[in-house]
Structure formats: C-alpha cells, structure tokens
Amino acid sequence: MHPNTLRKKLSGVIAFPVTPFKEDLSLDLPGLHENLTKLLEHPIAAIVVAGGTGELYSLTPAEYTRVVELTALAIEDRVPVIAGVGFGQRLAVEMAQAAEKAGADGILAFPPYYPQAEDEGRVHPLAAPDRDDPVRARARMARLADDLAADAARAHRRRIRRPE
C-alpha cells in the first residue's frame, strides 16, 4: 500500500492484538485468528501485529513472518495491517521486507530494546546514525529524556554538538 493511501486510512482506533502462545511457548495461531476475528467486530482503522504488546521481541523470524501472514489473510483487506519491526537497523529492514512479502500494508518501527542497559549504552546507539543531523539526534534525545539520567543526557549533547 502506498504510504499516502495508508496515512488516509489511519483515522480512528488502531488495534494492537495480543499474539497468544501455548503452554509450551509455541504460537497459538487459532487463538490469534480468534483474537483478530473479535477485533474486526468493532470499528477499527488498522491492526498492528507483532508490536506494542511485547511479542515482537519474543518471536523467531519464522514465527514473526507467520504471524504477519496469518493476520493479513484473516483481515482480508478490511483494514490495513501494520507490522512491528525493531531490534537494530539491519534486522528491522529485513523484518520490513518479510512483512511486506507476508501481506503487511505498513510498518511500525520500534527502537532497539535495551533491558537493564546503562544510560550511556541506551543513548549511544540512537545517536550514532544522526551525528551529522543534530536536529534528529536531539529529537530522539527528547523522547528519552524522561528515562535518562542527567549525566548521560549531557554527555550525549556534547557528542552531537556542532562547532559554531
């Protein structure tokens, strides 16, 4: 789907279904289909699959593709299917390509997941690609501000500051 077409359809509630797992931690695909069917009984604008409820980071690449594929088939073009992508840049690109082949209409990019990381370790990977673009780097910094210690934030600003 063209981004402008997708953008026009995103007016209203965007649903984030839970991807259910069985007791042995394998995917519960019939349960996912049931969740999607129930969601479609309501006026929703789109569905975000494998994202926002944590399962993106719990799925193998094959499971991820299968979840996106099953969702696209179950939705039958009634609403756009948006697939979560994340981890790092290269893997997110691969996931986006797999999602497109599996029938997704768009993606929702999540930042790298750093549980229990030191503040400095959480800031540095986000700043690295944008060293030549301090506006974008500072925008990312602002989004992290509530969760970062002041010392790490000051160190980050020193790294991205351009000479006057």
**Gap between the Cα atoms of 15 and 24, Å rounded:** 26
- Residuewise pLDDT in 10s, the chain (164 residues): 777 777 787 888 899 998 888 988 889 999 999 999 999 999 999 999 998 767 788 888 999 999 999 999 999 989 999 999 988 788 888 999 999 999 999 998 887 765 555 555 555 544 444 455 555 555 555 555 444 455 555 665 666 655 55
Q: Where are the domains of the chain?
A: 3-109, 119-160
CB contact at 8 A, 39 and 71: no
CB contact at 8 A, 113 and 85: no
**Gap between the Cα atoms of 33 and 139, Å rounded:** 38
Q: In which residue are the tokens 């981890």 written?
A: 87
CATH class of 3-109: alpha beta
**Gap between the Cα atoms of 14 and 111, Å rounded:** 20
SS3 label, residue 143: helix
**Gap between the Cα atoms of 55 and 134, Å rounded:** 32
Neighbouring-strand partners of residue 47: 15, 81
How many Cβ atoms are within 10 Å of 112's Cβ, its own excluded? 14
